[in-house]
């Protein structure tokens, strides 16, 4: 079972995930991070900004989960721009060691294959941060995604486009396609850390953690992973049937066991 940790606020989640990442980088200065976009990972990046200040992170490598297809990489809402502005620059990572799928490639299938290959060549991702969409997607693996899927183009659901419209001038500007790591790609990371905050995620979190394994809820794929940590705030945990059990397990966590 994934470890489920319920914390009062997103800032608490940011501190927990930030500690795990800083510990990893302490042990392996050239570790490979899997970074995510959206509002959910922001408390982690905020925490890391102070936690990593003054430390040498020049050898850290990172791969983003996904990228829109059909907008320029310099568009302020491209994941290339977002990762650069929210992760690479503030944390002081080396830009050439941070990769985002190329949503503008003339040959997207080839770009997808090359992305998976680049992850493999880097030795695989050590720790993958994940958010969750209100429809249960991770990365941009929308409902129906194969658990064995590799990096590829996916069509975004109307729900996802609506959710992400807040970042664009109008919903018409939200791309309809994305290049995303597949569920099979994500499952190869050595440690998954899935975060979810707020009431709007409560249903998706309950389905992902307590519903049956199903391609309809792509995040249920985390149950196929041997090392997954889920950190949710009070509101996102509000529909979990076994919430008190998860709290009991965490309260009794052996001191030697890290995240």
What's the DSSP call for residue 156?
A: P
Residue 86 binds ligand GLP, judged by CB under 6 A: no
List the one residue from 38, 43, 136, 218 that touches ligand GLP (CB under 6 A). 38
Considering the complex, what minimum distance in angstroms separates the CB of residue 8 from ligand GLP?
19
Considering the complex, what minimum distance in angstroms separates the CB of residue 232 from ligand GLP?
12
List the one residue from 34, 43, 103, 131 that touches ligand GLP (CB under 6 A). 131
- 125-155 as b/e: b if 16+ CB within 10 A: bbbbbbbbbbbbbbbbbbbebebebbbbbbe
Residue 10 binds ligand GLP, judged by CB under 6 A: no
User: By CB under 6 A, what part of segment 42-71 binds ligand GLP?
Assistant: 65-66
Residue 77 binds ligand GLP, judged by CB under 6 A: no
Distance (Å, rounded) from C-alpha 179 to C-alpha 73?
13
Segment interacting with ligand GLP, rule: CB under 6 A, options 88-96, 108-116, 130-138, 230-238: 130-138
Considering the complex, what minimum distance in angstroms separates the CB of residue 258 from ligand GLP?
24
Q: Identify the residue whose tokens are 């922001």.
A: 42
Residue 231 binds ligand GLP, judged by CB under 6 A: no
Ranges assigned E (strand) in the chain:
3-7, 32-35, 61-64, 66-69, 98-99, 127-130, 152-155, 177-180, 191-196, 228-233
φ/ψ of 68, rounded to 5, equals -70, 150
Distance (Å, rounded) from C-alpha 64 to C-alpha 86?
12
User: By CB under 6 A, what part of segment 144-203 binds ligand GLP?
Assistant: 160, 164
Considering the complex, what minimum distance in angstroms separates the CB of residue 36 from ligand GLP?
5
φ/ψ of 23, rounded to 5, equals -65, -45
By the 8 A CB rule, do 256 and 28 touch? no
Question: Residue 249, class by beta-carbon neighbours within 10 Å (0-12 exposed, 13-18 middle, 19+ buried)?
Answer: middle
Specify the residue, 208 or 255, whose C-beta has the smaller distance to ligand GLP: 208
Specify the residue, 101 or 104, whose C-beta has the smaller distance to ligand GLP: 101
* Site size for ligand GLP (CB under 6 A): 14
Q: Are strands 32-35 and 3-7 parallel, antiparallel or unpaired?
A: unpaired
Residue 97 binds ligand GLP, judged by CB under 6 A: no
Considering the complex, what minimum distance in angstroms separates the CB of residue 40 from ligand GLP?
3
Q: Which residues bind ligand GLP (CB under 6 A)?
A: 36-40, 65-66, 131-133, 139-140, 160, 164
């Amino acid at each position: 079972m994934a470890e489920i940790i319920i914390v009062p606020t997103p800032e608490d989640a940011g501190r927990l995930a930030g500690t795990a990442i800083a510990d990893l980088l302490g042990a392996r200065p050239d570790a490979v991070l899997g970074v995510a976009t959206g509002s959910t990972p922001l408390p982690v990046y905020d925490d890391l900004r102070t936690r990593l200040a003054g430390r040498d992170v020049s050898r850290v490598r990172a791969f983003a989960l996904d990228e829109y297809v059909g907008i320029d990489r310099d568009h302020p809402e491209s994941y290339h721009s977002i990762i650069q502005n929210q992760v690479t620059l503030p944390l002081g990572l080396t830009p050439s060691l941070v990769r985002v799928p190329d949503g503008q490639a003339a040959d997207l299938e080839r770009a997808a294959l090359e992305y998976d290959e680049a992850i493999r060549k880097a030795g695989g991702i050590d720790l993958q941060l994940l958010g969750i969409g209100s429809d249960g997607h991770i990365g941009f693996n929308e409902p129906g995604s194969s658990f064995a899927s590799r990096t590829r183009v996916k069509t975004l659901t109307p729900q996802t486009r609506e959710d992400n419209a807040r970042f664009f001038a109008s919903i018409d500007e939200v791309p309809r396609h994305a290049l995303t790591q597949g569920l099979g790609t994500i499952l190869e990371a050595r440690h998954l850390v899935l975060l979810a905050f707020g009431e709007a995620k409560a249903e998706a979190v309950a389905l992902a953690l307590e519903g049956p394994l199903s391609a309809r809820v792509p995040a249920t794929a985390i149950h196929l992973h041997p090392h997954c940590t889920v950190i949710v705030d009070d509101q996102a945990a509000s529909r979990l049937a076994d919430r008190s059990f998860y709290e009991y397990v965490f309260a009794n966590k052996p001191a030697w066991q890290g995240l």
